[in-house]
Chain A
Amino acid sequence: MYQYRRFNNKNGFFQKFGNLDYILLSCLLILGFISLATMYSTDGGEVLFHTRSHFIKFVVFFSMMLVISFINIKFWFSLGYLSYAVILGMLIWTINFGITASGSKRWIDLYFLNIQPSELMKIFIILCLAKYFHRMKAQHVNSFYSLCFSLIIIFVPMSLVIIQPDLGTSLLIAISGIVVLWFAGLNHKYFFYSCLLSIISLPIIISFLKPYQKLRVLTFLNPDRDPLGAGYQIIQSKIAVGSGGFTGKGFLKGTQSYLEFLPEKHTDFIFTLFSEEFGFIGSVLLLLIYSIIIYRVIRIGALSRSYFAKLFCYSFGTSIFIYVVINMSMVLGLLPIVGSPLPIMSYGGSSMLATMIGFGIVMSAKTHSQQSIA
């Protein structure tokens, strides 16, 4: 016991510094570099607004991640509920006083920057639920009370985001929450039944969708039904990816994006542009980098001493995986178009901030891997 405490006390700044996961860090830096290069390409081979802004955001939030790494994981544990409540408050604020852009209220004006609380919620819901299940005894996990509570935690932010309206993000928030539930040990049958239920109720859900959302589903099923309208994005995206070929068209030579056939090329469709310019090789390489990052995140979880850290790392890693998979499936025409950014690659401050906070907490779990939480 004494020795352990000694060890703990020695856990000073340099000790922490040495304990950082350098593979993860370098992978994140590589990804950051790739995303900057891609952003440079979307600006047409010039350093314009998007490139500059993305660079600043990446540098600021990467540094912030490093700072977070040195903060004890205990601090994040204690902040679990509070941060969730704050973000929830921000979501309510958004609904009333948010900034409207392209038909939905998603941003709040913090004077020095506009922030999208729904993106932050994707991370903090994991934090909140991880804290909730950390304290719970194994036999209580499947109790009616805990089930109800965790579902409320998921549903409240989800519905707040849906009415913005932002179906994509709200689904991602729900998925993040459900992932935590899965790791916490919720009985398989719940997942099975809810899957079954959602499939059965799919037609009913569709009837509640907004016309443009219905159109997206129909378009996904058959993009050619309106090639210049609703199907345009997905058709052009597939053309871009497909025309990239094995080795790609070359950096700054993606005609689809350069000639503005690609919609939303800075954000949701950034992978399309990357894939057009760097081809199959580049895309697989990018996937490999993401895989390494996710693997490192999960490995950190596996090596952590506390259940909270494990649960957070596993859930966060899995969420990142799901975001990547959903984004790519969407641009490759495997899923309907829903607004979901590609972590770190896509342009967008809030998404970058949330992702970096997540990586910061993971890194903090690494530097404090021997830390146990009561």
Chain B
Amino acid sequence: MININISDSAIKLNSLNRRMFILATAKIIILGGIVSRLFFLQVKENKKYLTLSDKNRIREWKLPPIRGEFQDYFGNTIAGNFEAYQLHIIPEEVEDFRYVIYRVKELLELSDKQFKKIVKKKNEIKPWETLIVADNLSWEKFSKINNHLYDLNGVKPVISISRDYPYKENFTHVLGYVSQANENDLLTNENIKEKFVPGLKVGKTGLEKSFEQKLIGSNSVERYEVNAYGRRISQLAFQKGDKGETIKLTIDTKIQELTNELLKEKAGSICVMDIYTGAIIAMHSSPSFDPNSFVFGISQDEWQLIRNNPMKPLVNKSLSGNYSPGSTIKPIVALSALENEIIKPDFTVQCKGHKNPLELYGQTYHCWKKEGHGFVNLREAMKQSCDTYFYEVARRLGVDRLSVTAKKFGLGQKVFKDVFDNEKNGLVPNTEWKKNALGRNWVLGETIITGIGQGFIQTTPIQLCLMTAQIANGGYKIYPKIVVNDDNQYADKFTPLYKKSRNIKIVQDAMFSSTNEVRGTSYRSRLDDPKYRFAGKTGTSQVKKITELDRELDLKTFQIPYEERDHALYVAFGPYKSPRYALSIIIEHGGSGGTVAAPLAKKLFKMIIDRHEIRKNYDNKKYLDI
């Protein structure tokens, strides 16, 4: 019994020890497996996991880049930056969002509408994205928030850099304005997409938009260590971004301000240009609006007010206003006729007045003057702006030859190429164009009215300014520029646009007579001092066909409904002795060019020529400094 017992326990012990041995072997193998797994993860794949771990813990925050400034010719900032007090919330970092947002509403005295907008915005963004509650707080409210920060967990008062236009409406149409980048901006501009942060402002129109790439600058980057919930633990690095380039314009703020002053309460445009360098001295479209109101988003009421204004403040009339040039085209008609040797300066036509209008194929063509001008030669016709004379010249010249000259002098094409995205081409018609565009043949009557700048022909104020400048400088091609150091070297710069320079002289002289001689259409706006004396040509472009009844009534401008009044135009250059500046003025529905537009030129030239010295001295000093 005992033996059996012993052998039994021996069997059991044997089996136990044998199995222990088997398992021990297995254990060593498994341990080897674990160790090799550790080796694989920690030694072989270490780099990969180290990167993943850094990706986990390090998060980068892009800060909005600081936008480059705009300066006028004398270095005054015309679009700068100022410190805006803002309030940001990252919803993820706020424990009780409802409480905090109501508290903020109370402190900032937000209206229900604003409040709803904020809550809606919060629901649209991701919880870790920045919610901008207020983007331009007054100092009082900003300090109020700062005093209550203990109660506002997760709310961040931020001092951010924002756009400021110190001259308000003066530069609106040149510079455009900035506003919050929207989806469209991100889609169309890679650069904006790359630098985007919530609240980034980008140029929407004008030079702000055209020079976006240069202005935008680069983001500062903050690198933070964050925990699993995205809460910042510590700052690891700060990489300062570059401010955008400063862009210097050729514009003289003083003259720009004067143009704004002159056009107050009127719809229209003034362009002033250096006739040799092509530098734009002033360019203004009226009415304008304050671009500062767009920086933080314009209110609906204000927007409606601007949008529904019948004078169309949103349109940059200098560049995208297409107008019939009226009599301001006459210098080109005359020049073209002289160049093509259709007429000589002493070519004479009899203007018989309204009783005996020019008749062609059953159509009548009236001169503006009821009594007629009698026998006029070229100089007299330009001076008194005789329409009959130019009907006859245009009839002999033909529209095709006229269009060649007009295009040569800059009409019918964009003056700034692609600098402004809203610039219009205008239109210089010819027979081929009509055939292609309208599918009908050119009619002689259309040539005749083209001779006085009516009909199909359309020009923008800046084109008229360029045209005048190129006549004033003796007929040489120039390329207008608005940015200093815009070193676009065109090969054909200063190439002559004429065949005989004598012809240019004749036209210049005719324009001089129009302003400075008795019976000249702008005689009343002359400046007698030889220093300021200028030459110009008036224009009055019809908005609506003049009927016989209108002619009988001969109403004064203020008696006609606003929309039916004529546009008043004036182009001029000066000082006459040694020309330097050219300008074009257009007043929409202003009446006659001689009475409405030309007087503005008088005031302008006074200042332009006075400031020429300052401009020249500034130039020289600049070179001395170097």
What residues make up the interface of A, taking CB atoms closer than 8 Å to B?
137-139, 141, 182-185, 236, 238-246, 255-256, 259-261, 275, 279-280, 283-284, 287, 291, 294, 298, 301-302, 307, 310-311, 314, 318, 321, 325, 328-329, 332, 334
Contacts and interface: CB of A to CB of B under 8 A. Distances in A.
A314 B34 CA distance: 21
B38 A311 contact: no
Contact of A256 (B12, B16, B31, B53): B53
B245 to A, nearest CB: 40
Nearest to A244: B42
A287 B52 contact: no
A325 B38 CA distance: 12
B9 interface: yes
B1 interface: no
A241 B41 contact: yes
A328 B48 CA distance: 21
- Binding site secondary structure of chain B: helix
A261 B233 CA distance: 13
A242 B20 contact: no
Contacts of B53: 239-240, 242-243, 255-256
Given A243-B49, A275-B42, A287-B34, A259 B13 contact: no
Given A259-B233, A332-B41, 11 more contacts: A137-B8, A138-B11, A138-B12, A183-B20, A184-B16, A185-B15, A242-B45, A259-B228, A275-B38, A279-B42, A314-B23
Interface in B1-57: 8-9, 11-13, 15-17, 19-20, 23-24, 27, 30-31, 33-35, 37-39, 41-43, 45-46, 48-50, 52-53, 56-57
The 5 A-B pairs of least Cβ separation, nearest first, read A242-B49, A243-B53, A259-B227, A185-B15, A280-B42
19 contacts: A141-B12, A239-B56, A241-B38, A241-B49, A242-B48, A242-B53, A243-B53, A244-B46, A255-B56, A255-B57, A259-B225, A279-B42, A283-B42, A287-B31, A287-B34, A291-B31, A310-B13, A314-B16, A318-B27
A318 B27 CA distance: 9
B236 to A, nearest CB: 12
A259 B46 CA distance: 19
A325 B50 contact: no
Nearest to B58: A255
A14 B230 CA distance: 59
A259 B12 contact: no
B226 A259 contact: yes
A246 B49 CA distance: 12
A22 to B, nearest CB: 23
Contacts of A287: 31, 34-35
Interface in B426-449: none
Contacts, number: 121
A287 to B, nearest CB: 7
A332 B19 contact: no
A280 B52 CA distance: 18
B228 A241 contact: no
B623 interface: no
Nearest to B23: A318
Nearest to B11: A138
B229 interface: yes
Nearest to A247: B42
Given A242-B52, A284-B35, A328-B34, A310 B16 contact: yes
Contacts of B33: 334
Contacts of A318: 23, 27
Contacts of B31: 287, 291, 325
Among A294, A301, A318, chain B packs the most CB atoms within 10 A around the CB of: A318
Contact of A245 (B43, B226, B228, B233): B43
A213 B12 CA distance: 40
Contact of B43 (A240, A255, A280, A301): A280
B20 A314 contact: yes
Given A259-B57, A307-B13, A325 B34 contact: yes
A182 B24 CA distance: 13
Contacts of A279: 42
A238 B56 CA distance: 13
A242 B41 contact: yes
B19 A256 contact: no
Contacts of A256: 53, 56-57
A280 B38 contact: yes
Contacts of B8: 137-139
B227 A260 contact: yes
Among B33, B56, B229, chain A packs the most CB atoms within 10 A around the CB of: B56
A242 B50 contact: yes
A307 B9 contact: yes
Contact of A239 (B11, B35, B52): B52
A91 B362 CA distance: 117
A328 B42 CA distance: 14
Contacts of A243: 46, 49-50, 52-53
Contact of A283 (B9, B12, B38): B38
A310 B17 CA distance: 9
Contacts of A138: 8, 11-12, 15
B12 A332 contact: no
A183 B229 CA distance: 49
A318 B16 CA distance: 13
Given A239-B52, A242-B48, A280 B23 contact: no
A332 B38 contact: yes
A129 to B, nearest CB: 13
Among B34, B39, B45, B227, chain A packs the most CB atoms within 10 A around the CB of: B34
Contacts of B50: 242-243, 245
Nearest to B49: A242
A185 B39 contact: no
Contact of A311 (B16, B30, B225): B16
B56 A242 contact: no
Given A245-B46, A325-B30, A185 B19 contact: yes
Contacts of B46: 242-246
B82 to A, nearest CB: 38
A126 to B, nearest CB: 14
A328 B116 CA distance: 52
B617 to A, nearest CB: 63
A321 B27 contact: yes
Contacts of B17: 302
Nearest to A138: B11
Nearest to B46: A245
Interface string B151-190: 0000000000000000000000000000000000000000
Contacts of B227: 259-261
Among A242, A284, A332, chain B packs the most CB atoms within 10 A around the CB of: A242
A138 B31 CA distance: 32
A302 B24 CA distance: 13
B228 A260 contact: yes
A307 B46 CA distance: 47
A329 B34 contact: yes
Nearest to A318: B23
Given A138-B12, A245-B43, A311-B16, A332 B52 contact: no
Among A238, A243, A255, A325, chain B packs the most CB atoms within 10 A around the CB of: A243
A238 B50 CA distance: 11
A261 B16 contact: no
A327 to B, nearest CB: 10
Contacts of A301: 20
Contacts of A261: 56-57, 227-228
A325 B228 CA distance: 28
B38 A307 contact: no
Interface in B483-526: none
A6 B315 CA distance: 118
A240 B49 CA distance: 7
A93 B16 CA distance: 36
A321 B28 CA distance: 10
Among B31, B48, B233, chain A packs the most CB atoms within 10 A around the CB of: B31
Interface string B195-239: 000000000000000000000000000000111110001000000
A152 to B, nearest CB: 22
